[in-house]
Amino acid sequence: METNNIEHDLSLAVHELSVAYEELSLLYRISEIYASLSVDEICARIIDEAINTISVQTAAVLFLDEKGEKLYTKAYRGAWESKREFPKDDGILWKTIQAKKSCAFCKIKETEYSGYIPMISSLMVCPILGKAKTVGAIAVADKEFGEEFFSKDSKLLMAIATQAGLAIENAFLYSELETLLVGAIRCLVKALEATSYWTAGHTERVTEYAMGIGQTMDLESDLIEKLKICSLLHDIGKIATPKEILNKDEKLSDEEWIEIKKHPIIGAEILVELKQFKDVILGVKYHHEYWDGRSGIFGLKHDEIPIMARILSVADTFDALTSDRPYRRKHTKEEAVREIMRCSGTQFDPAVVEAFLKWVNLQRRVF
Ligand SMILES: [Fe+2]
């Protein structure tokens, strides 16, 4: 009898331990994977984690709108209506939001919530709380084999929601900071361009083209963000180029070209303090390198040239060719595209040119 008790206690302890371990390892895993992701990516991961860890058929992340009056679907998988919104009511979702802690679960068809969310039988909801305010809620529905939700499931969902709240709040803060940074850079660049008639609007156009190429190449979202900053800053070194050269109405002399060619390295020196943007600095520094190594500036070639610099090189040249210069009229867009194709494999990375051509074809307005 005593042995039986010990066995029972032991198996209970083992069970408790395994639940605690599962919860802890989940916390560890999701805190790792949420770092440096965008809000959309975090939501997609939350859905994955919820579906895989709790073994449910449906999961949805709901965000609270700015006025705090409506919950709207931010991400979902399974039997959920994609655009479903929930105005404030006394339903299970809002009750959970207002309680600000723990999960609520119910067999939805057997309660007054029947029909609240069609196609769902049982539902479990947990609020997503940030440090400063409530972000929204995560809802999971219908376990894989039709079982009920147990307290172990609610513990797991709470673990996911806790990490998600912090991660989403951080991602919001990060994106606000980034918007601020990009805004400040735009002001700086406008101030620079205002000093030279010939470069007005150049940076914004190059940024648009570079982003188009980067997206066509399916670059990761954080690289795309850095590419935007890199494009906006690529000519910042021209701040040190004598204004008489930048505004000269005739063809430049060899000495003047030597002065102009210093701007990538000066740009990199100006930006050296942006330690978190090391690859942005390298993109600025090498944006006039040639794919075949014959730029005559640093002599890097092929993959030695950072991808951001290779993209900028094409975007920058396309804008230069299609803009008036003091010593020549602008080329047509068709002529510029032909010139870029002609220099594929010599001045430009062929893979970047290919992406550029695809993007140009999509942008009928370019023609
Ligand atoms: Fe440049």
From ligand 1's centre to the CA of 211, what distance in Å?
16
| Mean pLDDT computed over every residue of the chain | 85
Q: Note the pLDDT of residue 1.
A: 47
Q: Note the pLDDT of residue 203.
A: 92
From ligand 1's centre to the CA of 260, what distance in Å?
8
- Give domain 2-172's CATH superfamily: GAF domain (3.30.450.40)
Identical fold between 2-172 and 195-366: no
Mean per-residue pLDDT, 104-116 = 64
Q: Are 92 and 106 in contact (CB under 8 A)?
A: yes
From ligand 1's centre to the CA of 330, what distance in Å?
18
Q: Note the pLDDT of residue 347.
A: 97
All structural domains of the chain with their residue ranges: 2-172, 195-366
From ligand 1's centre to the CA of 13, what distance in Å?
67
Question: Is residue 355 scored above 60 in pLDDT?
Answer: yes
Helix, strand, coil distribution of the chain in percent, nearest 5: 60, 15, 30
From ligand 1's centre to the CA of 296, what distance in Å?
14
From ligand 1's centre to the CA of 318, what distance in Å?
12
> Per-residue pLDDT tens for 280-339?
999 999 999 999 999 888 999 999 999 999 999 999 999 999 998 777 789 999 999 999
> Per-residue pLDDT tens for 83-95?
788 888 877 888 8
What confidence tier does 342 reach under pLDDT thresholds 50, 70, 90? Answer: very high
From ligand 1's centre to the CA of 220, what distance in Å?
24
Short-list 54, 45, 58, CA closest to 22: 54
Q: Note the pLDDT of residue 74.
A: 92
From ligand 1's centre to the CA of 361, what distance in Å?
25
Mean per-residue pLDDT, 247-273 = 89
From ligand 1's centre to the CA of 177, what distance in Å?
27
Question: Is residue 277 scored above 50 in pLDDT?
Answer: yes
User: If you search the block for the tokens 């944006």, which residue do you land on?
Assistant: 287
Q: Note the pLDDT of residue 19.
A: 65
From ligand 1's centre to the CA of 235, what distance in Å?
5
> Per-residue pLDDT tens for 179-230?
888 888 888 888 888 877 667 789 999 999 999 999 999 998 889 989 999 9
Q: How many Å apart are CA 263 and CA 269, to the nearest integer?
A: 10
From ligand 1's centre to the CA of 28, what distance in Å?
45
DSSP state of 349: -
From ligand 1's centre to the CA of 180, what distance in Å?
24
- pTM for this entry: 0.68
Q: How many Å apart are CA 106 and CA 89, to the nearest integer?
A: 17
For the ranges 108-112, 226-230, 346-350, 361-365, the lowest mean pLDDT is seen at: 108-112
From ligand 1's centre to the CA of 322, what distance in Å?
15
161, burial (CB in 10 Å: exposed 0-12, middle 13-18, buried 19+) = buried
- CATH number for the segment(s) 195-366: 1.10.3210.10
> Per-residue pLDDT tens for 24-70?
666 656 666 666 677 888 899 899 999 999 999 999 999 999 898 99
From ligand 1's centre to the CA of 238, what distance in Å?
8
Question: How many Cβ atoms from other residues are within 10 Å of residue 320's Cβ?
Answer: 16
Residue type, 286: Y
From ligand 1's centre to the CA of 143, what distance in Å?
57
